[in-house]
Amino acid sequence: MSAAQGFRLRLRAQPDFRVDLSPLQPAVLAGRDVGEVARLELRHANAHVELGELFDVDALPSEAPELRIEGDLRRFDRIGQGMDGGRLSVTGEVGDYLGAAMRAGEIVVDGSAGHLAACEMAGGRLEVLGDVGDFAAGALPGSMDGMRGGTLVVRGNAGARFGDRMRRGTVLLLGDAGDFCASRMVAGTIALAGRVGAHCGYGMRRGTLVFGGSAPDVPATFAETSHDIRVMWALLSRSLGKLHPAFEGRPARAPRRVVGDLAADGKGEWLIAG
Amino acid sequence: MSAQAETTSGAAEQVVVRNGVSIDPTFAEAFPMKATRVLITAHNDIWARNAAVAMTGFATSVIACGCEAGIERMLSPDETPDGRPGVAVLLFSMSGKELAKQLERRVGQCVLTCPTTAVYAGLDDGEAVALGKNLRFFGDGWQISKMIDGKRYWRVPVMDGEFVAQETTAVMKAVGGGNLLLLARDTDAALAGAEAAVEAMRAVPGVIMPFPGGVVRSGSKVGSKYASLMASTNDAFCPALIPLAKKTELDAGTRCVMEIVIDGLTEADVSAAMRAGIEAIVARGGDAGVTRISAGNYGGKLGPFHFHLHKLLGAEASI
């Protein structure tokens, strides 16, 4: 069999336990043949399973590293974890840790993702067409910093603690966010087109939340500023508009700005444009 | 001046005459410099220009100013990062280190201080030097960083709101010291010709003419009879010294000479500007009073960039 740059994996059978798919990275698989890929061992609970036992593997006529995975992957975790290039697309639901700590490349999921999607993501682009669970763009358990670079676009809703401890990067959430959105946020930008749950911005130190949809209730630990922010708003809104049409055409009107969380230095800001 | 001119190698070459304007068979000699472009925006073009004029003040020559700087052109709102009117400014210096020093001082004192302004990098490729990186400390801890599309901006609270500055700009290799000498029958004609040439040259992107109004009347030569001076008056082009200097390039009918110095981001930019200037003078014709165009050089031994006037005109084959 000849080597290929891209592969398509079609789920043939659901595993009995959860499977770690972190070894499946487009750039790592590129240059291998179908047989080699099918013999890759994946962690399956506390044992291993060959990829070929779960998936049908085909080569794709790609010129660049690419991986397409099809099927209901809710029992498959860590898809694209640590990814450093190439393109990975999934048609179906996926498990936890989607794109965790990815550094480069692009992941697109046509479905929803479990918890901790894009946690500690450092670069590249991750788009989820469905929902994401709790702690998306947040930190791994025990870690001090959440997402630290790259771009995350979620077209559906997000669970609790969205962007918890986020440090850098840009996030677009087109649906609603759960409780404690942007809690303990250190820096970066989160643009929200929907509603947020309770305690948004709890302990937020720096960073920017852009509310393009309904205006949130402003907590007592946030204070309004009234100065002219049209310059920064022009830069930011143009950038967000390029990422998604929901934020296009915003530069014309400067948003209302509140800063906080005053209980945590107060240098975070909410730009309420909706 | 006769219709013959000596080249630096001593061989005689013919002067080209176009529309009554003689163009010497000589060349302008230019030097490598380091350059950057910054974009200044403001609430309207008046304040953008105010900042740019202040920032490019006292920046005519690296001999004593540290850098050469000028307004490249005005920018419409759709050409600037924040959608406001702006100005593109070019700064040139002899080293990247000096350029960084001048940039920081000038932006700090002239742009940060000017109402409503913001400042951005005007070049993407090249070694990064600080733009807002150190000026942010004016914010005394209240400054905020914002990363947008991979570029870091600093937001410094000031009394009219906030000063936004991109963290760095890029420095590139550039060309400084392109020049034209306009020899005229009198002051009025020399000024009118120089103004027309500068106007034409300002339409060329990537260049500045750093002297007042783009024109310098005190052209210099390297060295002096006084040991402490590195440059002194260009006696060969001083009408007052026609009967006195050991060597003069002027004839009795030349009573005024103006020089236009050009700094450009690339050799091609300087060439294009010099060509535009020559064409503007030629279009006016010799009857307008500028009767001859020459250029300054050091024998071709100092600067690696040689801008031959006849080559710029495409005139070599038609002599």
In chain B, what are the domain boundaries? 4-31+174-318, 34-172
Q: Is A243 on the interface with B (CB under 8 A)?
A: no
Together in a domain, A34 and A169? no
Asked if residue A3 belongs to a domain, the reply is yes
Together in a domain, A158 and A267? yes
Q: CATH class for domain B34-172?
A: alpha beta
Which residues, in sequence order, are CB contacts of B247 under 8 Å at separation 6+? Answer: B235, B236
Asked if residue A73 belongs to a domain, the reply is no
State whether CATH 3.30.70.520 applies to domain B4-31+174-318.
yes
Together in a domain, A140 and A164? yes
Q: Residue A97's domain spans which residues?
A: 78-272
* N-to-C CA span, chain B: 18
For the cut 60, the answer to whether the pLDDT of residue A126 exceeds it is yes
B167 neighbors B176 (Cβ within 8 angstroms) = no
- Give the residue among A239, A132, A136, A246 at the shortest CA–CA distance from A181: A136
Asked if residue A190 belongs to a domain, the reply is yes
What does the pLDDT average to over B218-222?
Answer: 90
Asked if residue A110 belongs to a domain, the reply is yes
Q: Is A232 on the interface with B (CB under 8 A)?
A: yes
Q: What per-residue confidence (pLDDT) applies to B298? A: 83
Q: Distance (Å, rounded) from C-alpha A137 to C-alpha A149?
A: 10
Domain boundary among A42, A68, A94: A68
Domain count across chain A = 2
The SS3 assignment for B210 reads coil
Q: What per-residue confidence (pLDDT) applies to A161? A: 97
Together in a domain, A26 and A131? no
pLDDT tens for each residue of A180-219 = 999 999 999 999 999 999 999 999 999 999 999 888 999 9
Measure CB to CB from residue B161 to each of A208, A227, A234 and give the nearest one. A227
Q: Would the CB atoms of A234 and B161 count as touching at under 8 Å?
A: no
Q: Which residue of chain A is at minimal alpha-carbon distance from B85?
A: A231
- Give the residue among B312, B220, B212 at the shortest CA–CA distance from B270: B312
Asked if residue A102 belongs to a domain, the reply is yes
In this predicted complex, what is the ipTM?
Answer: 0.91
For the cut 70, the answer to whether the pLDDT of residue B31 exceeds it is yes
Together in a domain, A50 and A169? no
Q: Is A254 on the interface with B (CB under 8 A)?
A: no
Q: What per-residue confidence (pLDDT) applies to B4? A: 36
Q: Is B153 on the interface with A (CB under 8 A)?
A: yes
Q: What per-residue confidence (pLDDT) applies to B1? A: 32
Q: Would the CB atoms of A228 and B84 count as touching at under 8 Å?
A: no
Together in a domain, A85 and A142? yes
Q: Is A259 on the interface with B (CB under 8 A)?
A: no
A166 neighbors A138 (Cβ within 8 angstroms) = yes
Together in a domain, A24 and A94? no
Q: What is the mean pLDDT of chain B?
A: 93
Placement of tokens 């009995």 in the chain: A16
Q: What per-residue confidence (pLDDT) applies to B231? A: 86
Contacts of B156 in chain A (CB under 8 A): none
Together in a domain, A51 and A155? no
